[in-house]
Structure formats: C-alpha cells, structure tokens
Chains A and B, each alone.
Chain A
Amino acid sequence: MLDPYVPILVMLGVAIFVAIFVITVSRVLGPQRPTRRKLMPYESGMEPIGPAQRRFPVKFNLVAMLFILFDIEVIFLFPYALIYKDLGVPGLIAMGTFFIVLIIGMIYEWKRGALTWD
C-alpha cells in the first residue's frame, strides 16, 4: 500500500546523507583562515548600515493590499489564456466585462488617492 512512498524515502535519505557528508568533508579538509574582511556580510567591502529588518511606512501596507487584490484577480486569466481560442468572441466579451469591472475598481482607488504616496 505504501509502495509509492519508497522512492521518496530513498530520495530523502540520500539528500540528508549528501548534505551532511559534504558539509563535514569541507569542514574537516578545507583550510580555515578567517580574516575580518572575510567575516563581513558583504565581501565586496561595503560596510552594512543599520539593522536588516527595517520598519516600513504604514502607507506601504495600503499599496501592498491593493497589489494583492489585483494580483489575485489575475489568476482568472490563466484558464482563459489556455482556452481563449475555443471560447471565441463570447469568451472575449465575458473576460472584457470582467476587466472593465476591475478597471473601474482601479479608477476608484486612483481617484480616491490610494495610489499617491504623499
């Protein structure tokens, strides 16, 4: 019953083994002479400035939310892209209506000033 899982198990075992093996070998065999320059986050020599986790302006949240909404709506394009030829003109009209509604939403958020930063 569990036969289909055997290759996955083997694969998992091999992956873990290889990872551990490679890391150990390079640890044991490789030369280790750290210098200050080598230990810096960017070896190009740039000094890192400030913490890595910066605080974002709250306004970014609004833009991000609007982006997610419009981004997600686009998934309806994927099935349409696959069969648009079979759907012909009626399909074009249907998707056109869908996009007109989306564009009206976009005009609304634009005119209400949701897209201006300052």
Chain B
Amino acid sequence: MITLPVIDWTIVAQLLVVFGGATVLLLLDLAIPAGRKQVTAYLALLVVLGAAAVGVMHAGVSGATFGGTLRLDPFRTAVGLVCLAAAALSILLAVTFLGRHQIERGEFAVLVLFGVGGMLLLVQAADLVVMFLSLALLSITLYVLAGFALPEPRSEEAALKYLLTGAFATGFLVFGIALIYGATGSTTLATIAAAGPGLTGEYRLYAAAGLLLLVVGLGYKASLVPFHMWTPDVYDGAPTPVAAFMSVASKAAVLAALTHVLLVGFGELRALWAPILAVVAAATLLVGNIGALVQQNVKRMLAYSSIGQAGFLLFGPIAASDRGIDALVFYLAGYTAANLAAFAVLIALEARGETEWSMARLSGLWQRSPGLTLALALALLSLAGVPPTAGFIAKFAMLDAVWQAGYPALVVLGVVTSAIAAAYYLRVLLRAAGPAETDAPPMFGDWPLRLGMALAALAIVVLGLAPGWLLSFS
C-alpha cells in the first residue's frame, strides 16, 4: 500500500480558489451570450478578489505540503498578492478595451485566471518540477493572450515571437533540471541544498551547469539581458492590457522563483552565481535604459524600461539578505502599480486600429485631460524613482540592500542608470505638457478603466508616503 502525501489545505486554498474558479468560469462562459462577455470578466475579478482574501487571511501561515513541493511563507504570500493585484487591475483595464477593439471574448478573463494561477503556483513552488509546470502554464496562457487580438497581424506576430523564445527558454530550463536531478537525485530545493556540499567530481559540474541553464531559462521569462530581445516586440504587438499584465505579474512570479532557486537551492554555490548575476544585472540596467532612451514608440519605451527595472529587481537575490528580500517585495509592488498606471493611460487613449504608439500621440495631453496627465506623471516619476513616490523608496531600499551586501559598483550603476531613466521618462512628460502635435486622439474614460487607474495611482502614493508596513514584513 502506498500512502499519498497528506495535503495541508490551508496552503493550497488560494490555488484551489483560482484554478477552481477558472475551470468553472470556462464552463459558465459557454452560457453567456456573445454580447455580454463583460459578465465573465467581472466574475473573474470576483475570483481574483476571493483568492486575494484567502491570501490575506493566511498572511502569517508558513509551511509545506505535497511532500515539500509547495511552500507558503510571508514572502510567497506577499508576491502572490502582488500577482493577484496585477491580475485584478489588468482585468479592470481590459474590460472595455476588449469591447472597443472588437475582441471581446470570454476566454480573456479565463486565461488571465489560469495565468495568475500559474504565477501563484510558481511563487509557491519549492520543487523544480512544479516550477517547470507552473512556468509552462503561465507561459502558454500568456502566448495565447499576446495573440488575443487575432487576426490583427501585429498581435499574431507578437504571440509567435513570444512562443518561439518561450519554448526555447523551456528547453534550457528542462535540461537544467535534468542535470540538477542527475547531480543531486532530487528536484526539491531543500534536498538539493542538502546534497550540494557532498557533491564531487562530475556531479559538481552537472549541478553548476544545471544551475546556469536554469538561470538562462528563467532569465528569458524575466527578460534579463542577454535574453531580452523578445520583450519590445511582444509588448508592442500584444494588446495593451495584456502587455501591462505580463510586464508586471509574470516578472514578479519569475523573480520570486529565481530567488528561491538561488538562495534556497543553491545558496552553497553563491560564489559561482553571485558574480554572474551581478554582471547580468549591470548589463540589464544598461541595455534596458539606454535602449529606452532612443525609442520613439511609447510601448517599446515602456518595454525597454521594464527591462531596466528587471535589472534593479535582480538586486534582491544578489543581496541575498532579509533586507534584499524586503526590498524585492516592495520594489515588485511599487513597479506593478506604476507600470499598470502608465499602461492604463495608454489604454485610455487607444482607439480601435491605432496600434502604432508614437510618442506624438501623447503631446498636448495636459490641455485635454489633466487627470490622465497626472496619472501618467505619477507613474513615470515612480518608475524613475523620484520622491515621494513608491519608486523612490523601492530603489533606495534595493540600493541599500546591495550596498550592505558589498557591491558598491552596482550601487553606482543603479544611480547612473536611474538618471538615464529619468531623462526618457521626463521627455515623455514634457511632450504631454507641451502643445499638441497631431490631431487629438479620442479618449476613453469608462468607470472600470478609471477605477483601475485610480487604484494604481493610489498605490503609488500610499506606498511612497507610508512604506513602513510593507518594507519590514520579514
């Protein structure tokens, strides 16, 4: 008789809500007539809020289940809540956008639910196989979402490019897992960590090579340099709410998984991965921010800026301290709010067929809509790290963490690239404050979009003015 592992339902409750909700909604959606697919979106919103409520309820829970492959602790709960918040805001931003672009299909909300479920699973995973499966789940849903504006050729092309790079990354990830399994005989992070010091000869080599391949696989998903090439194309071509969702939520989940792999599974090999990661972070900061400087397309600029932000996010695992983990969570929260607010402004200005996002379309925004300009300013200033926004505290905490960890060069680079970033964010704001250069594009201000934008802007301000409660949770 084989006994199955005991399941701790408090740990899997959140996942059950999301996946159960998504599955039921998939069936319910069949009964909802074509013109009323907004109902599906609002139901999905309810599911996300329910899952978030479960997460808040279990805020203090720590433990493992399914034989140690799933784990819950305050860090995981916090990153999971960031992902859920991103999903909720993205659904709000998308509800009317989809109708406007005549791509209102019920699958959108269901796919977002499955995607965010994959992200939660990735965050909670303490086993490489679970990480692989959850990463595949979130990737496949994001491929489909990127191509959601089908038969719009740009959207199709974005989806195909994302799928090709994503599948390529999956190959690296799986080969890395295979080598690590061969070296240590296990895929559970804790067991890998325990087996680490005893490895000799070729097995040590397998473990190191496996770790590097794993980092490559995850690096693709987090768009770290040199695995970032797909990012601008995919964000540019994908429907704007989808670009908003994947720029924040999947990045948060992948960064959390990367942190777990490096700190829990391979803490012993820190001398190997820390320098490599520091170089990758430096390259990511430079390429992302310098790339953004030359963009004329706002969506591509935001894509490059999100690459630059990923470089900052890497400071968390590099610092490898409680301070770094706290800073990572805070940075993820602040970045999510700011990036979603910035994309929300684009969504408010995007009519059907206007897929080229040249910067001139933002010109003269201040005269037409001070509210939108204010939201854009708040978002971009937070991304640039100007006080008193969330971005300032986040960047400060990250720089402090790597300084304590002994990487003064990264601190200098972080400050310099932030200055570069401020230049291109300000360029956009100056265009928005200046005179109109083109015919005024239409504006949309329905309540879900306004609510989403307001919540994101509010989060930027609140996190900027009262950061203490989130900054010292661990």
Residues of A at under 8 Å CB distance from B? 83, 86-88, 90-91, 94, 101, 104, 107-108, 111-112
Is A87 a contact of B30 with CB atoms below 8 Å?
Answer: no
**Mask of B1-23 contacts with A, CB within 8 angstroms, 1/0:** 11110000000000000000001
Chain B, residues 252-281, CB within 8 Å of chain A (1/0): the string is 000000000000000000000000000000
Instruction: Determine the distance from Cα of A88 to Cα of B27 in the docked complex, in whole angstroms.
Output: 30
Contacts of B30 in A (CB 8 A): 107-108, 111-112
Determine the distance from Cα of A90 to Cα of B4 in the docked complex, in whole angstroms.
7
B360 within 8 A of A: no
Residues of B in contact with A (beta carbons under 8 Å apart) = 1-4, 23, 26-27, 30
Return A61 CB to nearest CB of chain B, in Å.
16
B2 touches A108 (CB 8 A): no
Contact B23 A88 (CB under 8 A): no
Complex: chain A residue closest to B29, CB-CB: A108
Q: Which residues of A contact B27 (CB under 8 A)?
A: 104, 107-108
- Interfacial chain B residues near A88, Cβ < 8 Å: 1
Which chain B residues border A111 with CB–CB below 8 Å?
30
Residue contact B26 to A108, C-beta cutoff 8 Å: yes
Q: How far is the CA of A59 from the CA of B112 in the complex (A)?
A: 27
CA distance in complex: A91, B5 (Å):
11
Chain B residues whose CB sits within 8 angstroms of the CB of A107 once the complex forms: 27, 30
- How far does the Cβ of A117 sit from chain B's closest Cβ, in whole Å? 20
A83 touching B23, Cβ below 8 Å = no
User: Are B4 and A101 neighbours in the complex by a CB distance under 8 Å?
Assistant: no
- How many inter-chain residue pairs (CB < 8 Å) link A and B? 22
Complex formed: what's the CA distance from A87 to B27 in Å? 31
Collect the chain A residues with CB atoms within 8 Å of residue B3's CB.
Answer: 90
Q: Which of A94, A104, A108, A112 contacts B4 (CB 8 A)?
A: A94
Chain B, residue nearest A86 (CB): B2
Residue of A nearest to B5 (CB): A90
A101 to B20, CA, bound (A): 10
Q: Which residues of B contact A83 (CB under 8 A)?
A: 2
Chain A residues positioned under 8 Å from B26 (CB to CB)? 104, 108
A101 to B114, alpha carbons, bound, how many Å? 13
Residues of B within 8 A of A90 (CB): 3-4
Closest B residue to A88 using CB positions: B1
Assuming the contacts A108-B30, A111-B30, A112-B30, asked whether A87 and B4 have C-beta atoms less than 8 A apart, the reply is: yes
B114 to chain A, nearest CB (A): 11
Beyond A91-B4, A107-B27, A111-B30, 18 additional pairs, beta carbon < 8 A: A86-B1, A86-B2, A87-B2, A87-B4, A88-B1, A90-B3, A90-B4, A91-B2, A94-B4, A101-B23, A104-B23, A104-B26, A104-B27, A107-B30, A108-B26, A108-B27, A108-B30, A112-B30
* Residues of A with C-beta under 8 A to B4: 87, 90-91, 94
CA distance A14 to B307 in the complex (A): 60
- Can you list 20 A-B contacts with CB-CB less than 8 angstroms, sorted by A residue number? A83-B2, A86-B1, A86-B2, A87-B2, A87-B4, A88-B1, A90-B3, A91-B2, A91-B4, A94-B4, A104-B23, A104-B26, A104-B27, A107-B27, A107-B30, A108-B26, A108-B27, A108-B30, A111-B30, A112-B30
Q: Tell me how far the C-beta of B43 lies from the nearest C-beta in chain A, rounded to whole angstroms.
A: 16
Give complex CA distance A101, B27 in Å.
11
Which 9 pairs of residues, A with B, have the shortest CB-CB distance?
A86-B2, A111-B30, A90-B4, A108-B26, A104-B23, A86-B1, A87-B2, A104-B27, A101-B23
Q: Closest Cβ of chain A: how far from B331's Cβ, in Å? A: 36
Residues on B with C-beta less than 8 A from A94 are 4
Nearest-neighbor residue (CB-CB) of B1 within chain A: A86
In the assembly, what is the distance between CA of A87 and CA of B3, in Å? 7
Q: How far is the CA of A94 from the CA of B27 in the complex (A)?
A: 21
In the complex formed, the residue of B with least CB distance to A90 is B4
Chain B residues whose CB sits within 8 angstroms of the CB of A101 once the complex forms: 23
Give Cα A68 to B34, complex, Å: 29
Across the interface, which residues of A come within 8 angstroms of B1, CB to CB? 86, 88
Which residue of chain B has its CB nearest to the CB of A91? B4
Q: Complex formed: what's the CA distance from A90 to B2 in Å?
A: 10
Interfacial chain B residues near A87, Cβ < 8 Å: 2, 4
Smallest CB separation, A65 vs chain B (Å): 13
Complex CA gap A107/B152 in Å reads 28
Closest to A104 in B: B23
A79 to chain B, nearest CB (A): 11
Expressed in whole angstroms, the Cα–Cα distance for A2 and B2 within the complex equals 41
CA distance A83 to B1 in the complex (A): 9
For the complex, give the distance between the alpha carbons of A112 and B107 in Å. Answer: 11
Q: With A and B bound together, what is the CA distance between A91 and B23 in angstroms?
A: 22
Nearest residue (CB) in B for A112 is B30
Report the Cα distance A11→B289, complex, angstroms: 62
For A94, the closest partner residue in chain B by CB is: B4
A107 to B26 alpha-carbon distance, docked (Å)? 10
Determine the residue in chain B with the shortest Cβ distance to A108: B26
Q: Which residue of A lies closest to B31 (CB)?
A: A111
- Separation in Å of the A90 CB from the closest CB of chain B? 5
How many whole Å from A96's CB to the nearest CB in chain B? 13
Q: How long is the Cα–Cα vector from A86 to B3 in the complex, in angstroms?
A: 8
User: Closest Cβ of chain B: how far from A30's Cβ, in Å?
Assistant: 51
Bound-state Cα–Cα, A90 to B192, Å:
29
Instruction: Give complex CA distance A56, B3 in Å.
Output: 49
**Least distance between A57 CB and chain B CB atoms (Å):** 19
